[in-house]
Chain A
Amino acid sequence: MNFNVKIWRQRNAKAKGHFETYRIEDIESDASFLEMLDILNEKLIREGIDPVSFDHDCREGICGACSLYIDGRAHGPDDHVTTCQLFMRHFKDGATITVEPWRSSAFPVIKDLVVDRTAYDKILQAGGFISVRTGSAQDANNILIGHDTAEESMDAAACIGCGACVATCKNGSAMLFVAARVSSLALLPQGKVEARKRARSMVAKMDELGFGNCTNTRACELECPKGITVSHIARLNREYLKAKFSE
């Protein structure tokens, strides 16, 4: 297959970015999107052009590193996948494909398609944990958790922290990301003790870091590669309100 790839190029955080279009030929339809970019980069290096920087690592859809905005969609035209699990068979032969970094003021561009997502780490540092010291836990089976509760908690815990929800949201809100963590822990008995404080401080940190507000467009849910639903945002709101009333 052959493509024209229109890619956002930006030398560094301060430089002004622009689009460049490159021609790429003879791509196998079974190749992944990132393999296509690898091949493009090999070509660019040989031609003396600076290769395109992009974040990637596991290439199995689980590390959350890859983060491309392709043809106007976070992680591209397939549903519920990360960019690394997007395959070229989803594109028309000869198509022009537009590739951009995540666009959010909370995720500044480092270079080309690479953005800085340390804001996510900071939100989690504000309370996305259970305060248990190594060695102080009781026997695991002393905490009984119903099968369905564990499954629901796992649904939320599946978040890979890629940032697609923020990139997709017209307000640049991180609500789905925050909700996934708050909800996953609030569902479990171990997580209930700190649930209110957690919701309050994580939301406060999210606001402080420049993420936008949630206006319930549910775009995040559509583009989440792990299919995390906005029902978790409802649970976050509940936890947050409980916290506010208990102040």
Chain B
Amino acid sequence: MADKLISKIPDGPLSEKWKKRKSEIHLVSPNNKRKLEIIVVGTGLGGASAAASLGELGYNVKVFCISDSPRRAHSIAAQGGINAAKNYQNDNDSVYRLFYDTIKGGDYRAREANVYRLAEVSAAIIDQCVAQGIPFAREYGGYLANRSFGGVQVSRTFYARGQTGQQLLLGAYASLNKEIAAGTVKSYPRHEMLDLVIINGEAKGIIARNLVTGQLERFGAHAVVIATGGYGNTYFLSTNAMNSNGSAAMQCYRKGAYFANPCFAQIHPTCIPVHGEQQCKLTLMSESLRNDGRIWVPKKLEDVEKLRKHQIKASQIPDEDRDYYLERRYPAFGNLVPRDVASRAAKERCDAGFGVNETGKAVFLDFSDAIRRLGHQKVAERYGNLFEMYEKITASSPWEEPMMIYPAIHYTMGGIWVDYDLQTTIPGLYAIGEANFSDHGGNRLGASALMQGLADGYFVIPVTIGDYLSHKFAEPKTDINAPEFAAAEKAVQARIDRLFSIKGTETVDSLHKELGHIMWEYVGMARDEEGLKTAISKIKALRERFYKDVKVPGNQFEFNQELEKALRLEDFFDIGELMAYDALNRKESCGGHFRVESQTEEGEAKRDDKNFMYVAAWEFKGEGKEPELHKEELKYEFIEVKTRNYKD
């Protein structure tokens, strides 16, 4: 079945591919668009922008989210910014350079054509967002301001204080509201997709649970777009929102959509360290802080001891006794190395015993130099709200003492496999934003998630979906009384009934926490063959325990958050296992995936292009069976494949 992996990348020079594809795509006339229905699941940057743009085009759109309002999707929490190749700073930025940085940052595991298109449309995103009234930061002359992010040497990041994701999402949500008011989009908040419905091999609808009444509801369409984000919460503790989950992606996977590169998960270097066992969520401190903050640990172990016993404060350690280890190891990029590199370097120092808090799992992020250089006001303008947030949580002021940070799971580069049109291996099923795999390879650069979500939603899917739908306008509306809908609903009902019938003793969260421990221990920042095999067997055992002993209180036909969590945990078990299989197969270190067996003498990641320069696309083969691997070879025609070097 490997022939399903047809990437549909247009021929020709890189800069002409998107133009070429657009010119080939069949159009749907306005009177026919009215006859076509599209389901969009998820209302983050990808889903909201897609639903709004498709509505503007005249399609009938139904948009679903699990929250009480589309505005609460987790894109809202993105802090630092959004990249665009505008070259407003005259620092020699260009579409090619943004493309190059993204491919290199992704450790040569992303598709050239997709990434180039992303860079190409990036500038239009900023135009669109400004037109929507998003209050980006401005210079005193009234022009847009920029800052720099990890893994790049230009300033191409646009931002709205530390709330860029919020502002971009409110922009997309406003466009969505405009279309809801116009009647082209119908919104279904507090609805959770529980299965994909396939008729004659094509995606034709979904089964969703109304989270208020608990009823299962059927929704039909001519095409389905999945925009449900990533699966970072497999680890229980992550920077993802509590309700973020990978369930919609898993439902598609079980119905035949291939799942690509599941092992590529990003561990973000700047999160607030874990404070105790009762914690359920980690808080990210924006990467933008690395523009002006310097990361260090003490050079002397005796200083570490004193810090842990609260005998001295960080500010009392003189500069010559501090090890600014990123500046030391990577002089060219310093504190702005990509996230995977910064995270591993923090782990290396902490494993060597230099962690600066009681748990030994923290390093300093210090602003004292920046405050001296820029003054209080400038620093406050750039990071004021982040400093406040840090102080609220930790009761320590970054104005006086350095922040303490440690890596945490943040983003998943892997996702549903899609072709150049963002269509999955199931015709009529599309995946956009973090839910797909296509643009970030083994590691995503900062401020690129927002860019990708909006690129897919505003500029790619509204065009590419037309090619599929241009053949569908003569088809009648999908009949939700079709036997395929009944069968899918019945299967979902059986899943729910099974959960209530177990009546065990363990809570959903306690089991999820255990899954998280397994994942962090064996499928975390450093992975090896033995550990990954252990992970697979431990996950299987935990899943068995779940089905024997989980306790789901209440009933189906009410607002029931425990049932929601239990259904999601079932899917997290499957994702966790799939991640371990993928990590086991990928015997190289690459991006966020570090195999202990594959490293240089200096402890840097060692990629293996000869054997692993491919996208690993996994096919579901049935419950309890090993998934089957399909390979999409990656060809680099326009970029020279190099070893990533952030040293010089």
Contacts and interface: CB of A to CB of B under 8 A. Distances in A.
Interface in B516-574: 551, 553-554, 558-559, 561-562
A116 B135 CA distance: 29
Interface in B55-87: 56, 67-72, 74, 76-77, 86
B136 A42 contact: no
Nearest to B145: A147
B509 interface: yes
Interface in B249-271: none
A185 B505 CA distance: 53
A64 interface: yes
B24 interface: no
Given A58-B76, A62-B76, A111-B559, A124 B53 contact: no
Interface string A124-160: 1111111111111111110111110111011001101
A79 to B, nearest CB: 10
Given A59-B242, A124-B174, A190 B281 contact: no
Contact of B135 (A81, A125, A127, A184): A184
Contacts of B559: 12, 53, 110-111, 114
B491 interface: no
Interface stretch (A28-36, A164-172, A208-216, A231-239): A28-36
A63 interface: yes
Interface stretch (B161-169, B325-333, B439-447): B161-169
A117 B69 contact: yes
Contacts of B141: 144
Interface in A158-189: 158, 160-161, 184-185, 188
A85 interface: yes
Interface in B486-535: 505, 507, 509-510
A56 interface: yes
A25 B343 CA distance: 36
A188 B167 CA distance: 14
A64 B71 CA distance: 9
B143 A141 contact: yes
Nearest to B158: A140
Contacts of B283: 59-60
Contacts of A185: 133
Given A45-B562, A121-B187, A124-B174, A35 B135 contact: no
A191 to B, nearest CB: 5
Interface string B258-290: 000000000000000001101111011000000
B139 A125 contact: no
Nearest to A129: B174
Given A58-B77, A85-B389, A134 B181 contact: no
A45 to B, nearest CB: 5
B371 interface: no
Interface in A95-133: 110-111, 114, 116-118, 120-121, 124-133
Interface stretch (B122-130, B197-205, B598-606): B122-130
B283 to A, nearest CB: 6
A51 B563 CA distance: 11
Determine which residue in B130, B139, B140, B559 has the highest number of CB atoms from chain A within 10 A of its CB, and name it: B130
A58 B166 CA distance: 12
B561 A53 contact: yes
B372 interface: no
Contacts of B280: 35, 38, 59
Interface residues of A, number: 77
A82 to B, nearest CB: 10
A63 B77 contact: yes
B177 interface: yes
A76 interface: no
B395 interface: yes
B132 A129 contact: yes
Given A58-B77, A111-B559, A141 B144 contact: yes
Given A42-B509, A134-B128, A141-B88, A11 B67 contact: no
B160 interface: yes
A150 B41 CA distance: 33
A42 B511 CA distance: 12
A191 B395 CA distance: 39
B131 interface: yes
B178 interface: yes
A233 B569 CA distance: 45
A63 B128 contact: no
A130 B142 contact: no
B241 A59 contact: yes
A130 B510 contact: no
A55 B124 CA distance: 36
B393 interface: yes
Contacts of B135: 145, 150-151, 153-154, 157, 184, 188
A93 interface: no
B239 to A, nearest CB: 8
Given A11-B558, A147-B142, A184-B135, A58 B74 contact: yes
A141 B510 CA distance: 51
A130 B133 contact: yes
Contacts of A48: 553
B273 to A, nearest CB: 11
B103 to A, nearest CB: 25
B436 to A, nearest CB: 20
B360 interface: no
B225 to A, nearest CB: 15
Interface string A54-90: 0111111111110000000000001001000101010
Contact of B392 (A81, A132, A145, A149): A81
Interface in B110-159: 124, 126-144
B46 interface: no
A97 B429 CA distance: 49
A46 interface: yes
B207 interface: no
A154 to B, nearest CB: 4
Contact of B128 (A12, A45, A135, A146): A135
A28 B276 contact: yes
Given A137-B131, A141-B88, A157 B181 contact: no
Contacts of A150: 135-138
Contact of A140 (B144, B175, B275, B553): B144
A58 B278 contact: no
B180 interface: yes
A64 B136 contact: no
A128 B170 CA distance: 10
Q: Quick one: which of A46, A78, A140, A160 has the most chain B CB within 10 A?
A: A140
B71 A145 contact: no
Contacts of A132: 128, 131-132, 175
A39 interface: yes
Contact of B163 (A126, A130, A136, A158): A158
Contacts of A160: 166
B131 A130 contact: yes
B189 interface: yes
B516 to A, nearest CB: 14
Nearest to B275: A30
B505 to A, nearest CB: 7
15 contacts: A11-B558, A45-B507, A45-B551, A48-B553, A50-B554, A62-B76, A78-B392, A85-B389, A129-B174, A130-B131, A130-B174, A132-B128, A140-B144, A141-B88, A185-B133
Given A137-B127, A151-B138, 10 more contacts: A78-B392, A117-B68, A129-B132, A134-B175, A134-B459, A140-B144, A143-B131, A145-B135, A146-B138, A154-B161
- 9 tightest CB-CB pairs across the interface, nearest first? A144-B142, A137-B131, A129-B174, A137-B127, A153-B135, A154-B135, A140-B130, A111-B559, A150-B138
